[in-house]
Chains A and B, each alone.
Chain A
Amino acid sequence: MEEIEKLKKENELLKKINENKSDIISITAHQLRTSLSALKWIFKMFIDEDLGKLNNEQNELIQKAYNSNERMLTLINDLLTLSHSEDASITYNFKKIDFLYLVEQTLFEFSGETNKKGIELIFLRPETPLPLINCDEEMIRVVIQNLVENSIKYSNTGGKVFVSLSQKENNIQISIRDSGIGISQRDENNIFQKFFRAPNAIEKDVIGSGLGLFTTKNIIEKHNGKIWFENKEGQGTIFFVTLPII
């Protein structure tokens, strides 16, 4: 009995430490974002020539500064998500959800981005109704967001991204297929590593932190799910995720 009480107390203490850590991360991110928001807005005012006409050199430099600022913001966002996803045992909130509804809702949020890039996002609905799954809705939303966002980011203008959903035995499977730059064979083993960025993505000047796929895999594994991909460099990638049915 004494041992159980001791463990309970230690658990409470760990919870408190974890909450403090989350608060510190959240406030730090808030402060960093506040400064970076100001920079973002000012750079954008220069780019839009709200403050007067720029010559080509000035324009190029400001655009680079804007992109660099966006990289910092992406890194902060990804670090926040990673921090949240790694607090699994304490902060995950598992409940039964309708996965189809979650996917539809999440894809809807991409309409602005796909229009901007001229990319068609096509959702292939399942032919039969899907059973509920037990998951943390917000974290699985992050998984879908990360994978779809990558597909859009690494696709060329005018490309298509297909999302499909189906039941495979005791799992629900979602796949996201793009016709983007793909992953080179030598990078295939590294793409789920923390902070890894593929050289062809860097070359294309696509903004990223190298944390998205690491976090995605982390979340899926916390759900006893699996993630893998099929790929041809230059022709696109298909990511597959399976999550167990309750």
Chain B
Amino acid sequence: MKKVLIIEDDSFLQGLEASKIEKEGYSIITASSGEEAMKKIYEPGIDIVLLDLILPNFDGFEILKKIKEVEELKNIPVIVFSNLSEEKSIKKSKELGAIDFMVKSNFTLDELVKHINTILK
């Protein structure tokens, strides 16, 4: 079973994302703050990370930077899943190595899962 790390501080959204992705056959780990995420990224067997940008403690950019700096983590695909949409955030995410930038409100959870499936195919 493939493992998804969901980094999302809004507990309601996190619950909806986790329940949908789990239903589609993935195992889930969650982190609700930047600090928690910085620990959870080292859990073994993570296949993909879903990363919010505005988080307490460390923001999503710092987490993304860390993932791409660490040799054993740098190949894990990271989808930035945020409700920010300005060009500077998209550009920065791509520069830091995100595989994609999805604006949450533009997608249904079905579309999100399809996207994860395609990346992990």
Contact = CB atoms under 8 A, between A and B. Distances in A.
Interface of A: 26, 29-30, 33-34, 36-38, 40-42, 44-45, 48, 73, 76-77, 80, 84, 138
Contacts, number: 48
B119 to A, nearest CB: 16
Given A26-B84, A33-B83, A44-B109, 20 more contacts: A30-B54, A30-B84, A33-B103, A34-B83, A34-B104, A37-B83, A37-B104, A37-B105, A38-B12, A40-B105, A40-B108, A41-B13, A41-B16, A41-B20, A42-B16, A44-B108, A76-B105, A77-B106, A84-B86, A138-B87
A34 B108 contact: no
A41 B109 contact: yes
Interface of A is mostly: helix
Contact of A33 (B87, B104, B110): B104
Contacts of A73: 105-106
Contacts of A84: 86
B16 A44 contact: no
Given A26-B84, A34-B83, A41 B108 contact: yes
A36 B110 contact: no
A48 B110 contact: yes
Interface in B84-112: 84-87, 103-106, 108-110
B10 interface: yes
B19 to A, nearest CB: 9
B12 to A, nearest CB: 6
B98 to A, nearest CB: 17
Contacts of B20: 41
Contacts of A33: 83, 103-105
